[in-house]
Chains A and B, each alone.
Chain A
Amino acid sequence: MANWVIRSRTIVHHLHKKMGSLGILNLSSWNSTSNSFHSSSPTMPLGDNHGRPHAIFGDSATHFAVRRFKSTEAERESDAEYINQDGGDQALDFPGGKVEFTSEMNFITESADKRVPCYRVLDDNGEVIVSNNFVQVRKEVAIKMYSDMVTLQMMDNIFYEAQRQGRISFYLTTLGEEAINIGSAAALSADDLVLPQYREPGALLWRGFTLQEFANQCLGNKEDKGKARQMPIHYVSKKHNYFAVSSPIATQLPQAVGAAYSLKMEGKNACVATYIGDGGTSEGDFHAAMNFAAVLEAPIIFICRNNGWAISTPIEEQFRSDGIVVRGRAYGIRSIRVDGSDALAVLSAIRTAREMAISEQRPILVEALAYRVGHHSTSDDSTKYRSVNEIEYWKTARNPVNRFRKWIERNGWWCDKDETEHRSSVKKQLLQAIQIAEKTEKPSIEGLFSDVYDHLPSNLQEQEEQLRETIRSHPKDYPSDVPV
């Protein structure tokens, strides 16, 4: 019977704990002389194998493995010598780099004395508070940023009302986070991929997804690019490099790392931007993605919208750290905290993050602080768990759209007349978009079965035939607006 080489997590843990102060595992207890040890299972030295040549397998591997096992003691000695050569007891030569010794028993504090400050460019009155430490924005770009923020806000208000009237089944607003949406989108290039959570439709709007397309998705008609298969606000657009919104939280993050790794391997001058909320950072996928991105050196920007609330759970009940930004260092990821109600600050930080991500092929973490002014979704009433005053304060005093407007008005790029014209035009477009979307047919029944696989397997063919038969027998059981 051949030997089975199998991992045991328990044993790993145990051995990790037992690792001696020299950081060398004594392998002799593994019965190195046993002839049942399989020749093709060489044991790698404990350590970073990236910097060292790999063991060569085949016949020589046998010798390597056996020698390795027999020479454990000898290796321990030679490693000890190595430490002594380089300054003796001052440093521990541990995989991953030298660690200095200290005689002081200092526990690292759980948090810094001061919270990580929040980078901003514009003050509450829309005045630039720093002179040069931000990305200059041309007039056209600034106007598009502002117009899109207003459009996003208006789309939210009108679609929200449409849901309340029963015309849309569900909706979720971005109110309060317009600057994160548009500022981050403006910082990226069209080739950059976006893997969204779900509160970032502004990034899609910025890229040219039309109000009609938004309406088509929310109404679930046959013009919806996602073929009316997902709940409202689950947008997707390949043309705009915008991956499909998926309801499960944080699942997009490790996928974003995979996509970024592909860009890296193709040598593309592009990166991946992926979004997550504060609640999402508690998911395992957040950890997985941060760690993978750091280790695999993927060009990716993690944009965390810390809006204070995960449905009804406030951040004090979500984590004990100083927000999200401090987690970057634990993973070896450069990070910044930014005022999420300041579109210029968001744009500046993410534009700079993008340059670093691409030129240095590394992940960057951006934590943007803003506030979820709306309810979590149309299924939620947030006044049940937070004060109306708090909401009102963020909606008025810290309104990101108003702040940006003050800035462009101060620059002489925008006036009341522009505002009125823009709002009236957008309102008209939105009402029209909903009307058209409502009138547009639903997709036909074949869309229920297609795209599960690239081809329809026989079980689905059979089920489709059966279903059509049932519809013929009981047509009244089924919605009449879905073509059969």
Chain B
Amino acid sequence: MATSSLRRLRFGRLGCWVPRREFSTCDDKVVVQQNGKSMNLYSAINQALHIALETDPRAYVFGEDVGFGGVFRCTTGLADRFGKSRVFNTPLCEQGIVGFGIGLAAMGNRAIAEIQFADYIFPAFDQIVNEAAKFRYRSGNQFNCGGLTIRTPYGAVGHGGHYHSQSPEAFFCHVPGIKVIIPRSPQQAKGLLLSCIRDPNPVVFFEPKWLYRLAVEEVPEHDYMLPLSEAEVIREGRDITLVGWGAQLSIMEQACLDAEKEGISCELIDLKTLIPWDKETVEASVRKTGRLLISHEAPVTGGFGAEISASIVERCFLRLEAPVARVCGLDTPFPLVFEPFYMPTKNKILDAIKSTVNY
């Protein structure tokens, strides 16, 4: 029974605080900017899925409500184009979706599973952690589920409360055997998603839902892939290195612009792949600037920022001129009314930049 229409809630009416949210963009050398078309992030995802299904007859897209286009419209048109045997709804059961995807992938298919919200991924945690991540290792490489890609929207949206806002990426960064990728913009999303789908390892691909419609940029029409486990310096600077991923980069970029007005030159890095992550790029930048700030929406304690901080202190201890700063979500459940207080906002970042530079 299709109950998709019931599960959708228009959040616009609930939200009272609608902050300005930009998105971060930058030219990527890998992308040839030709025949580019202006599109938002969900359309870029949709285009990547079209290409994935078009270029591999053994690719499948499935999940809750994906048949009619998905609650965020990312799978629009796919079922019509590729048929209901390759693009289909599943029962409302995340552990079933991921388990099914593992089995499908283990047979040599590209299994592209959608978990409707990252907040709901936890019933599938066992399948991801104990099964997908260890599938190759435990079988001595006789079997693998490398064709599995789990797409899931994550992050704040202004009015999502506990269960439509979380950033659970750190849980998955503790799991050898999977890759965790988070894009920052439409162009990045398309290229990274295609890389994830074609990568021979299981991947959890977190999509910044705040940017689905908000982020619009030129996206090349052709089939292109962006490398995994490669961070990118999206803004060069001298005084401090800022590291982030996904939607948070836009906030960090605004902080960089404001800091610049005060004479502080910030270098901004998009990590893109959280595991296995590109320590070298971050290390090289911190060696240059001598300062590091990490920012993410997830709670600060045990967040992936802690891992970056520890690793960079290990590698750059003598070069650091100030403690590593973390501007992150608070250690509370993700709040509703208090969301503006919870968030690692531009001014929190700006203050941390200034105090780190002036340490």
A261 at the A/B interface (Cβ < 8 Å)? Answer: yes
Cβ of A7: which chain B residues have Cβ within 8 Å of it? Answer: 7-9, 65, 71, 116-117, 164
Knowing A49-B67, A238-B142, A257-B100, say if A457 contacts B229 (CB, 8 Å): yes
Knowing A1-B18, A243-B143, say if A6 contacts B8 (CB, 8 Å): yes
Cβ of A109: which chain B residues have Cβ within 8 Å of it? Answer: none
Cβ of B71: which chain A residues have Cβ within 8 Å of it? Answer: 5-7
A1 to B: closest C-beta gap in Å: 5
In the complex, what distance in Å separates the CA atom of A295 from the CA atom of B67? 14
**Cβ of A454 and Cβ of B95 under 8 Å apart?**
no
B265 at the A/B interface (Cβ < 8 Å)? Answer: no
A262 at the A/B interface (Cβ < 8 Å)? Answer: yes
The A1-18 residues at the B interface (CB cut-off 8 A) are 1-9, 11-12, 15-16
Cβ of B127: which chain A residues have Cβ within 8 Å of it? Answer: 251, 254-255, 285
Cβ of B229: which chain A residues have Cβ within 8 Å of it? Answer: 457
Q: What does DSSP make chain A's interface, helix, strand, loop or mixed?
A: loop
Knowing A40-B73, A48-B1, A259-B107, say if A226 contacts B177 (CB, 8 Å): no
B237 at the A/B interface (Cβ < 8 Å)? Answer: no
B288 at the A/B interface (Cβ < 8 Å)? Answer: no
The A230-244 residues at the B interface (CB cut-off 8 A) are 230, 234, 236-238, 243-244
In the complex, what distance in Å separates the CA atom of A223 from the CA atom of B165? 48
B323 at the A/B interface (Cβ < 8 Å)? Answer: no
The A46-83 residues at the B interface (CB cut-off 8 A) are 46-50, 54-57
Cβ of A50: which chain B residues have Cβ within 8 Å of it? Answer: 84
Q: Which of the candidate stretches B129-137, B243-251, B349-357 sits at the interface with the other chain?
A: B129-137
Q: List 20 A-B contacts (CB under 8 A).
A: A2-B212, A4-B11, A4-B213, A5-B72, A6-B160, A7-B71, A46-B3, A95-B2, A226-B139, A229-B138, A254-B99, A259-B103, A261-B104, A262-B104, A265-B86, A284-B123, A285-B95, A292-B93, A459-B276, A459-B277
B51 at the A/B interface (Cβ < 8 Å)? Answer: no
In the complex, what distance in Å separates the CA atom of A265 from the CA atom of B117? 28
**Cβ of A254 and Cβ of B96 under 8 Å apart?**
yes
Cβ of A288: which chain B residues have Cβ within 8 Å of it? Answer: 91, 93, 95-96, 99
Cβ of A291: which chain B residues have Cβ within 8 Å of it? Answer: 91, 93, 96
**Cβ of A237 and Cβ of B142 under 8 Å apart?**
yes
Q: Which of the candidate stretches A116-124, A363-371, A434-442, A445-453 sits at the interface with the other chain?
A: A445-453
Query: Most chain-A CB neighbours within 10 Å: which of B5, B109, B279?
Result: B5
Further contacts, 13 of them, CB under 8 A, given A255-B100, A258-B103, A457-B229: A1-B158, A6-B117, A7-B7, A8-B7, A31-B13, A45-B5, A49-B67, A225-B140, A254-B100, A262-B104, A285-B99, A453-B177, A459-B276
Query: Most chain-A CB neighbours within 10 Å: which of B80, B100, B102, B277?
Result: B100
Knowing A3-B11, A5-B10, A11-B6, say if A55 contacts B107 (CB, 8 Å): no
Knowing A6-B160, A224-B140, A243-B139, say if A258 contacts B2 (CB, 8 Å): no
**Using a CB–CB distance below 8 Å, which chain B residues touch chain A?**
1-13, 15, 18, 65, 67-69, 71-73, 76-77, 79-80, 84-86, 88, 90-91, 93, 95-96, 98-109, 111, 116-117, 123, 126-127, 130-131, 134-144, 146, 157-160, 163-164, 176-177, 179, 200-201, 209, 212-214, 229, 276-277, 279-280
A187 at the A/B interface (Cβ < 8 Å)? Answer: no
**Cβ of A49 and Cβ of B2 under 8 Å apart?**
yes
**Cβ of A251 and Cβ of B13 under 8 Å apart?**
no
**Cβ of A450 and Cβ of B141 under 8 Å apart?**
yes
In the complex, what distance in Å separates the CA atom of A108 from the CA atom of B160? 41
Query: Most chain-A CB neighbours within 10 Å: which of B2, B76, B84, B209?
Result: B2
Cβ of A43: which chain B residues have Cβ within 8 Å of it? Answer: 5, 8
Cβ of A203: which chain B residues have Cβ within 8 Å of it? Answer: none
Closest to A193 in B: B107
Interface size on A, residues (CB 8 A): 82
Q: Which 3 A-B pairs have the closest CB atoms?
A: A258-B103, A254-B99, A288-B96
A248 at the A/B interface (Cβ < 8 Å)? Answer: yes
Cβ of A40: which chain B residues have Cβ within 8 Å of it? Answer: 73, 76
In the complex, what distance in Å separates the CA atom of A44 from the CA atom of B117? 20
A36 at the A/B interface (Cβ < 8 Å)? Answer: yes
| Contact mask for chain A residues 262-302; partner B; CB cutoff 8 A; 1 contact, 0 none | 11010000000000000000001101110110011000000
A253 at the A/B interface (Cβ < 8 Å)? Answer: yes
Q: Which of B9, B134, B135, B213 contacts A6 (CB 8 A)?
A: B9
Cβ of A57: which chain B residues have Cβ within 8 Å of it? Answer: 69, 76-77
Query: Most chain-A CB neighbours within 10 Å: which of B12, B98, B127?
Result: B12
Cβ of A450: which chain B residues have Cβ within 8 Å of it? Answer: 141
Cβ of A254: which chain B residues have Cβ within 8 Å of it? Answer: 95-96, 98-100, 102-103, 127
**Cβ of B276 and Cβ of A259 under 8 Å apart?**
no
In the complex, what distance in Å separates the CA atom of A119 from the CA atom of B86? 38
**Cβ of A234 and Cβ of B68 under 8 Å apart?**
no
**Cβ of B9 and Cβ of A8 under 8 Å apart?**
yes
Cβ of A237: which chain B residues have Cβ within 8 Å of it? Answer: 142
**Cβ of A47 and Cβ of B1 under 8 Å apart?**
yes
In the complex, what distance in Å separates the CA atom of A259 from the CA atom of B179? 22
Cβ of B201: which chain A residues have Cβ within 8 Å of it? Answer: 453-454
**Cβ of A246 and Cβ of B99 under 8 Å apart?**
no
**Cβ of B176 and Cβ of A452 under 8 Å apart?**
yes
**Cβ of A230 and Cβ of B138 under 8 Å apart?**
yes
A398 at the A/B interface (Cβ < 8 Å)? Answer: no
Cβ of B131: which chain A residues have Cβ within 8 Å of it? Answer: 246, 248, 251, 255
In the complex, what distance in Å separates the CA atom of A451 from the CA atom of B135? 9
In the complex, what distance in Å separates the CA atom of A1 from the CA atom of B15? 11
